[in-house]
Amino acid sequence: MANEIHVNYESENTLYAVIRDKAGNAWYVNGQAFELWGTTGRDAEDYCISLTDRNGSLYVGDFNENISSGRYYIQIFLQAGANPADGDSLIAGKEFVWSGTGEITPDKLLVNKAIQNKSSGQIQYFDDDGQTVLITLIPTEDNESVTRASD
């Protein structure tokens, strides 16, 4: 997948994203891991994910597929100089639920394709392409309750 990160901002600027985990650690792009900002002297340039200006005030970028599924926070910065810097201005932020292959949003679960396996009860919810599975739910029940577990 690609272009999972979107932000609206006046075209002809330089924007970048930083992905944070629940603990507030930043995704270190070259190390492919989350870490405390500034570990071993790293700065914004080490955590930045470039965004492409698609004109019409829309920027897009890729959410790293090596990040495991979960809930993350994406920060968008306006780059002031030639390179990303710790003093760049934060212009936007959003919570992002990542399935490992795409963003999970309520509308995708309600509107997009979902298939239930009648024998196992397993339900697969698909991304906009109708091919990529975002989440799989496995319902189980007994005489008193119904439980859903995600795969």
Shared-domain flag, residues 80 and 110: no
pTM of the model: 0.78
By residue range, what is the domain housing residue 146? 106-150
Q: Which of 98, 120, 136 is the last residue of a domain?
A: 98
- CATH number for the domain that contains residue 27: 2.60.40
Shared-domain flag, residues 14 and 65: yes
Those residues with Cβ within 8 angstroms of residue 130's Cβ, 6 or more apart along the chain or in another chain? 112, 113
Rounded to whole angstroms, the Cα distance separating 22 from 9 reads 26
How many domains, in total, are found in the chain? 2
Shared-domain flag, residues 47 and 112: no
Rounded to whole angstroms, the Cα distance separating 1 from 66 reads 12
Position 147 confidence tier, pLDDT thresholds 50, 70, 90: low
| 34-60 pLDDT, tens digit each | 999 999 999 999 999 999 999 999 999
HSE (side-chain half, CA atoms, 13 Å) at 99: 22
| 94-105 pLDDT, tens digit each | 999 998 888 888
Shared-domain flag, residues 124 and 143: yes
Shared-domain flag, residues 30 and 71: yes
Q: Which of 61, 76, 98 is the last residue of a domain?
A: 98
Shared-domain flag, residues 118 and 81: no
Shared-domain flag, residues 13 and 32: yes
What is the distance, to the nearest Å, from the Cα of residue 50 to the centroid of all Cα atoms in its chain? 14
Q: Is the pLDDT of residue 143 over 80?
A: no
Q: Which of 98, 120, 138 is the last residue of a domain?
A: 98
Rounded to whole angstroms, the Cα distance separating 17 from 75 reads 5
Shared-domain flag, residues 74 and 112: no
Shared-domain flag, residues 29 and 91: yes
